[in-house]
């Protein structure tokens, strides 16, 4: 199996201190031993390994996604230098596209100019309006980061060709319509809102007080999107509708499929996906590095074979195989299946929420189809 997407973790630190962060606030503390930023030696090795892999697999297009921590923690000029270096090393083999997932607080116009010249795409983390965003996404001082992110958005609006959208984390204590209206009013039309990463060891926050808090939020969000904010491309909801209509695709918010990327940490070690860090210490580590192994060897490692096995239909939990939405949900996001007793052999910790949301979305969709069909027949 060949892949063409590489998450390059250029910084293992962040200038924010968000309380739900899957890298710094869950079960894995390996970041403490990682170099704070990626070194020239790791970049050189990565570029060599990538070049070798592109050639071996005859790949003519590859995607590099800069991640952190906060990728701009490494420095804006340095990030541009890194992208130039990788491109120069690999351009005879494949066209390389770059993007980054950033909290937005360190962006300035000169950096965006440099990104625009190179086609480096930018995706921002933004949870919603000020009161929602600042509730979790704070600096170490305790002050919220909203104003700085808003400034970044206003700058990014001058560069629509590289602005890829926003991703937020759901806090079910805030009304979904308020959040979707905020995105809509600010012309942030490519969005996704993710459930906070949780496992059976660390269940979703707030559910102990109100068992249905996430189900209610998701259903209300779906209704708000479906009736008022359809111009928003809300990735998870669009994926669910496509699944209900029988168009199969995969999204790592859910299960099934295969890992179609690999992550490289600041120390040059290969990893599966960062979100696995919510499960246990070193859960994402493959056990190989750029210094001892080719990309090909990492992709064919036991760890990735095991990861893909867990995502295969034959290995999703029995309940999921019998679930009427099993082909869309596939047991949910893999880390959300984790328990200390049973490993990943559980339905998602958000199973009830998924069942409620899928059933609601199906009902809504069928009513809409019925309405349209009647209108069509009447003619
Ligand atoms: S909704 Fe629950 S039972 Fe159905 S596939 Fe998802 S996790 Fe499994």
Predicted pLDDT of residue 379: 66
Is 94 within the bounds of a domain? yes
Ligand 1 centroid to residue 355 C-alpha, Å: 7
Mutate to test the pocket of ligand 1, among 348, 359, 360 (most ligand atoms within 8 A of CB): 348
CA-nearest residue, atom 2 of ligand 1: 351
The closest-lying atom of ligand 1 relative to the alpha carbon of residue 320 is 8
Task: Please state, in angstroms and as integers, the Cα–Cα distance from residue 84 to each residue in 77, 98, 117, 150, following that order.
Answer: 11, 10, 11, 28
Say how far apart CA 69 and CA 47 lie, in whole Å. Answer: 21
- Transcribe 154-180 into DSSP letters: HHHTT-TTTEEEEEEE--TTS-HHHHH
275: in domain: yes
Label residue 248 by pLDDT band (50, 70, 90).
low
pLDDT recorded at residue 28: 84
The structural domain count of the chain equals 1
Per the domain annotation, does 269 fall within a domain? yes
Q: What is the CATH number of the domain that holds 259?
A: 3.20.20.70
The pLDDT tens digits for 57-94 are 999 999 999 998 899 999 999 999 999 999 999 989 99
User: Which atom of ligand 1 approaches the CA of 326 most closely?
Assistant: 5
Residue carrying the six token digits 């192994």: 293
For the CA of 348, the nearest atom of ligand 1: 7
Mean pLDDT of all residues in 145-163: 95
Q: Is residue 364 part of a domain?
A: no
Residue-number span of the structural domain to which 17 is assigned:
5-310
Q: What is the mean pLDDT of the chain?
A: 93
173-232 pLDDT per residue, tens = 999 999 999 999 999 999 999 999 999 999 999 999 999 999 999 999 999 999 999 999
Residue nearest ligand 1's atom 3 by CA: 320
Query: Residue 25 domain-assigned?
Result: yes
For residue 330, the ligand 1 atom closest to its alpha carbon is: 5
Distance from CA of residue 57 to its chain's centroid?
26
**Which has the closest alpha carbon to 100: 117, 77, 83, 81?**
83
Token duo for residue 74: 């490494």
Decide if 253 is inside a domain: yes
Pocket mutation for ligand 1, best pick of 331, 334, 337, 361 (most atoms within 8 Å of C-beta):
331
Q: 329 CA to middle of ligand 1, Å?
A: 6
Is residue 113 one of the residues assigned to a domain?
Answer: yes
Residues in the ligand 1 pocket, defined by CB under 6 Å? 319-320, 323, 325-326, 329, 331-332, 347-348, 351, 354-355
E-strand ranges in the chain read 5-9, 61-67, 95-102, 121-125, 163-169, 190-194, 233-234, 261-264, 269-271, 285-289
Is residue 77 a part of any domain in this protein? yes
Tokens of 76: 């804006």
């Amino acid at each position: 199996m060949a892949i063409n997407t590489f998450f390059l973790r250029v910084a293992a630190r962040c200038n924010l201190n968000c309380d739900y962060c899957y890298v710094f606030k869950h079960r894995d503390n390996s970041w403490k031993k990682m170099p704070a930023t990626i070194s020239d030696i790791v970049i050189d090795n990565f570029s060599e390994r990538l070049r070798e892999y592109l050639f071996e697999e005859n790949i003519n297009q590859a995607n590099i996604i800069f991640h952190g921590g906060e990728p701009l923690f490494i420095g804006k000029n340095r990030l541009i230098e890194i992208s130039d270096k990788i491109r120069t090393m690999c351009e005879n083999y494949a066209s390389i596209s770059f993007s980054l997932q950033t909290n937005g607080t360190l962006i300035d116009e000169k950096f965006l100019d440099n990104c625009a010249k190179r086609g480096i795409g930018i995706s921002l983390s933004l949870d919603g309006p000020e009161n929602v965003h600042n509730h979790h996404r704070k600096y170490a001082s305790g002050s919220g980061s909203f104003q700085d992110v808003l400034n970044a958005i206003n700058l990014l609006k001058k560069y629509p060709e590289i602005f890829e959208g926003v991703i937020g984390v759901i806090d079910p204590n805030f009304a979904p319509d308020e959040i979707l209206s905020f995105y809509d009013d600010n012309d942030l039309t490519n969005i996704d809102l993710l459930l906070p990463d949780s496992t059976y060891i660390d269940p979703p926050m707030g559910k102990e007080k109100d068992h249905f808090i996430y189900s209610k939020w998701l259903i209300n969000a779906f209704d708000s999107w479906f009736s008022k904010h359809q111009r928003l491309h809300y990735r998870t909801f669009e994926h669910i509708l496509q699944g209900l209509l029988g168009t199969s695709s995969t999204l790592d918010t859910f299960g099934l499929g295969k890992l179609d990327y690999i992550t490289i940490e600041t120390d040059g070690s290969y990893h599966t996906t960062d979100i696995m860090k919510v499960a246990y210490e070193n859960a994402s580590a493959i056990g190989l590095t750029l210094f001892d192994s080719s990309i090909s060897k990492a992709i064919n490692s036991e760890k990735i074979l095991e990861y893909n096995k867990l995502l295969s239909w034959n290995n999703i939990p029995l309940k999921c195989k019998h679930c009427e939405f099993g082909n869309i949900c596939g047991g949910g996001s893999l880390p959300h299946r984790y328990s200390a007793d049973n490993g990943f052999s559980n339905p998602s910790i958000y199973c009830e929420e998924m069942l409620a949301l899928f059933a609601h979305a199906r009902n809504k969709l069928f009513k809409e189809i019925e309405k349209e069909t009647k209108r069509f027949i009447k003619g």
